[in-house]
């Protein structure tokens, strides 16, 4: 990969996560994980990247109280990078995604430990009247403002249930396809509305969508939306038709990197959509079999 290509990857990351990268030296970057701006990962990229794994130089911690165990975090970052790196494939986007989840779990664990400390300091034991009342969902007679032991927050993950394609990066633009099963138009619309609430997807320039639904009585529904990318939705719908894929919704998100790439964008949109559909197992097996036979015939 050339230096220019590395800059394209970094530009694509910045388009998805603004102000998350800064070049501090030639091919040395400070990377900020989304929602964790107090942490910066300093990494160097050789001229052989992505054939060669990047090097983690150091972790810059601007909030030692929030991220107390710097050695643990540095170890986790290096292990994550080693796990997700594949020779010849760019890795910054996937590393961001993995570390965002890891850091969220790290902070949640610390919060639980802090709550347990508060409870220990208050000497709340299993024999107290308060704990018995909490177990019975009654209002406790002793109130502790810093502990909400009986409080639960239900968080819906917009990405839950979606099959995700590999990211495609070209001249600063990034394309990712998402696919999931749906059995009604209402489900398709509902899942789409929820998906675009995801923080990363909400920052995309376009979310091209298409779905095909077949009821048990034979009734068929299909629709698409370009979301500003002219004719892109129809192309994805045509792809689903050619793959004979039913009861599926496909969304392709594009983050624009500032450089127009012309008709190549349609190729990337279709490739991302196809990848998600195939990974999700939505392709009619007969279509796959016919395609394989056609390939064999051409070879003869």
pLDDT of residue 141: 39
Task: Report how far residue 143's alpha carbon sits from residue 15's, in angstroms, rounded to the nearest whole number.
Answer: 46
**Could you tell me which residues come within 8 angstroms of residue 31 by beta carbon, excluding any fewer than 6 positions away?**
20, 21, 40, 41, 42, 43, 92, 96
Residues of the chain with CATH 3.30.230.30: 163-289
Task: Report how far residue 89's alpha carbon sits from residue 84's, in angstroms, rounded to the nearest whole number.
Answer: 10
The better pLDDT of the pair 288, 221 is held by 221
pLDDT digits (tens, 9 = 90+) for 247-273: 999 999 999 877 888 888 999 999 999
Q: Are 39 and 26 in contact (CB under 8 A)?
A: no
Look at residue 215 and tell me whether its pLDDT is greater than 80: yes
The stretch 114-119 carries a mean pLDDT of 47
3-state SS track over 53-102? CCEEEEEEECCCCCCCCHHHHHHHHHHHHHHHCCCCCCCHHHHHHHHHHH
The stretch 216-244 carries a mean pLDDT of 91
pLDDT of residue 284: 80
Look at residue 177 and tell me whether its pLDDT is greater than 60: yes
Residues of the chain with CATH 3.10.110.10: 3-100
Look at residue 129 and tell me whether its pLDDT is greater than 80: no
Q: Are 30 and 60 in contact (CB under 8 A)?
A: yes
The stretch 279-294 carries a mean pLDDT of 68
pLDDT of residue 133: 41
Lowest mean pLDDT among 4-18, 46-60, 270-284: 4-18
105, with CB counted inside 10 A (0-12, 13-18, 19+), is exposed
Q: Give φ, ψ of 41 to 5 degrees.
A: -105, 120
Task: Report how far residue 221's alpha carbon sits from residue 223's, in angstroms, rounded to the nearest whole number.
Answer: 7
The stretch 63-90 carries a mean pLDDT of 88
| CATH fold for the domain made of 163-289 | Ribosomal Protein S5; domain 2 (3.30.230)
pLDDT of residue 275: 95
pLDDT of residue 23: 93
The stretch 8-33 carries a mean pLDDT of 86
Tell me the pTM.
0.55
Lowest mean pLDDT among 8-22, 69-83, 216-230: 8-22
What CATH number is given for 3-100 in this structure? 3.10.110.10
């Amino acid at each position: 990969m050339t230096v220019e290509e590395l800059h394209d990857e970094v530009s694509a990351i910045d388009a998805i996560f603004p102000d998350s990268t800064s070049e501090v030296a030639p091919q040395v970057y400070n990377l900020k994980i989304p929602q964790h701006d107090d942490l910066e990962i300093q990494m160097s990229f050789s001229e052989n990247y992505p054939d060669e794994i990047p090097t983690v130089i150091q972790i810059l911690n601007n909030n030692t109280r929030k991220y107390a165990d710097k050695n643990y975090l540095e170890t986790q970052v290096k292990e994550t990078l080693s796990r997700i790196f594949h020779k010849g494939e760019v890795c910054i986007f996937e590393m961001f995604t993995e570390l965002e989840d890891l850091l969220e779990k790290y902070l949640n664990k610390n919060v639980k430990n802090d709550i347990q400390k508060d409870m220990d300091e208050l000497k709340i034991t299993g024999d107290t009247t308060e704990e018995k009342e909490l177990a019975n969902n009654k209002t406790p007679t002793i109130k502790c403002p810093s502990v909400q032991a009986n409080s639960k927050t239900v968080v819906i993950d917009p990405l839950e249930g979606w099959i995700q394609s590999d990211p495609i990066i070209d001249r600063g633009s990034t394309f990712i396809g998402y696919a999931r099963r749906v059995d009604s138009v209402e489900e398709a619309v509902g899942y789409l509305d929820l998906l675009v609430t995801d923080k990363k997807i909400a920052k995309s320039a376009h979310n091209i969508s298409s779905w095909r639904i077949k009821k048990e009585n034979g009734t068929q529904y299909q629709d698409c939306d370009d979301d500003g990318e002219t004719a892109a939705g129809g192309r994805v719908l045509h792809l689903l038709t050619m793959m004979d894929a039913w009861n599926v919704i496909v969304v392709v998100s594009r983050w624009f990197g500032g450089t127009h790439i012309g008709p190549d964008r349609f190729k990337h949109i279709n490739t991302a959509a196809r990848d998600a559909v195939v990974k999700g197992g939505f392709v009619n097996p007969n279509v796959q079999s016919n395609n394989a036979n056609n390939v064999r015939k051409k070879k003869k």
